[in-house]
Amino acid sequence: MIMFTREEAQQLMDLFDMLDPYDAFSDVRGILRAKLLAHESVQVSPNEFIAAATGKENLTGMPVMWAEWPTRETA
């Protein structure tokens, strides 16, 4: 798997935008654009997540935060 930083992905998107919109990269362009427009979610502690989510259980959409339980031990 190849990973790009956000800046590298934006540079690729800029290059794709200079190409013909009907080229072979149109599918890749759409996927890349969607990923770049997506908000990044932040990991928080389970207590912070519960405090923020209490009373908002019926909300839908892209999460802006997430928590993991049980938490992984850090060495």
In the chain, what are the domain boundaries? 1-38, 40-75
Q: How far is CA 58 from each of CA 45, 54, 74, rounded to the nearest angstrom? A: 21, 10, 33
Which ranges of the chain have pLDDT less than 50?
none
| Alpha-carbon gap, residue 35 to 50, rounded angstroms | 27
Q: Which two tokens stand for residue 9?
A: 């992905």
Nearest to 68 by CA among 50, 54, 51: 50
**What pTM value is reported for the model?**
0.47
pLDDT for the residue numbered 75: 58
Q: Is-contact 39 62, C-beta < 8 A?
A: yes
